[in-house]
Amino acid sequence: MSATDRDVATDLGTLRVRVAGTGPAMLLWPSLLMDHTLWDAQVAHFAPRYTTIAVDPPGHGASARLDRMFTFDECARCLLQILDAVGAERAHIVGNSWGAMIGATFSALYPERVLTSILMNGTASPARMRQRLEYSALLVLARMRGGFQPPLTRPALTAFLGPTSLATRPDVVEHTLRTVRANDVGSVAPAVRSVVVHRPDQRGLLAQIRTPTLVIGGREDATFPPAEVEDMARAIPAARLMFVEDAAHLVALEVPGRVNTLMDDFLRQHEPSR
């Protein structure tokens, strides 16, 4: 399936999106320090039936350099601007971590543009003090060392991947390392501060969501453990919650076949919404 790269002007700079396939729109936003390639397996699986729009988020991948912090509302507006640019009136919103938070925000603010939401490894809660301190220190060290190079790649790996992937999925480890190392620290730092250090409590906002929502978590996720994902799902009326037992923070990359099956089953249940 051929794909086309497009640059979309947004409130947070020009964002690179990769568009493939045909059918109802499916917009995919990845985690911090990841780019659109997190979704390669989902694009390959769904592009025959959906128009997949995989995003390099602000400051990441081939998108414009990020030089300021942002709000989640601004990120949600970026989703709106992407959908407008590609001519999609409504879309299935798929997000991982940062993408899950923004997907939930978008679903609450722009329900008329949402078919369904599939939110992976997300949270609706503000960051714990320990997490704020750890990520702030990681940014300082990365600036001092000129990037996310060893030994700083180890904290990123343990934040993203659990014991099963670290021990048995070398391709996933390599993909994660390669993508993390490719980041420009100065460009991703405002995103890390916005999404982690200054993350808002979204539970009140998420209670406004009325579109069908699937929340997926990884049992081995150390960044947003199951209890935190469960809390997010409880905040969204009638959300469906599913866990993958042997995956962590990047479930779509770690166990793509099982994630695709969960997505397929959910989308099939809401076929009339398409």
DSSP the chain: --EEEEEEEETTEEEEEEEEE-SSEEEEE--TT--GGGGHHHHHHHTTTSEEEEE--TTSTTSPPP-S---HHHHHHHHHHHHHHHT-SSEEEEEETHHHHHHHHHHHH-GGGEEEEEEES--SSPPPHHHHHHHHHHHHHHHHHTSS-TTTHHHHHHHH--HHHHHH-HHHHHHHHHHHHTS-HHHHHHHHIIIIITPPP-HHHHTT--S-EEEEEETT-SSS-HHHHHHHHHHSTT-EEEEETT--S-HHHHSHHHHHHHHHHHHHHTGGG-
User: In which domain, by residue range, is 70 found?
Assistant: 3-273
Task: Give the number of domains in the chain.
Answer: 1
CA distances to 70, 132, 200 from 128, rounded to whole Å, are 19, 6, 11
Give the pLDDT of residue 148: 74
Give the pLDDT of residue 1: 65
Give the pLDDT of residue 236: 98
Mean pLDDT by groups of 10 residues along the chain of 274 residues: 92 98 97 97 97 98 96 98 98 98 98 98 90 78 74 82 97 95 92 93 96 98 96 97 97 98 96 51
* CB of 214 closer than 8 Å to CB of 117: yes
Backbone angles phi and psi of 247, in degrees to 5: -140, 170
Give the pLDDT of residue 171: 97
CATH number of the CATH domain containing 156: 3.40.50.1820
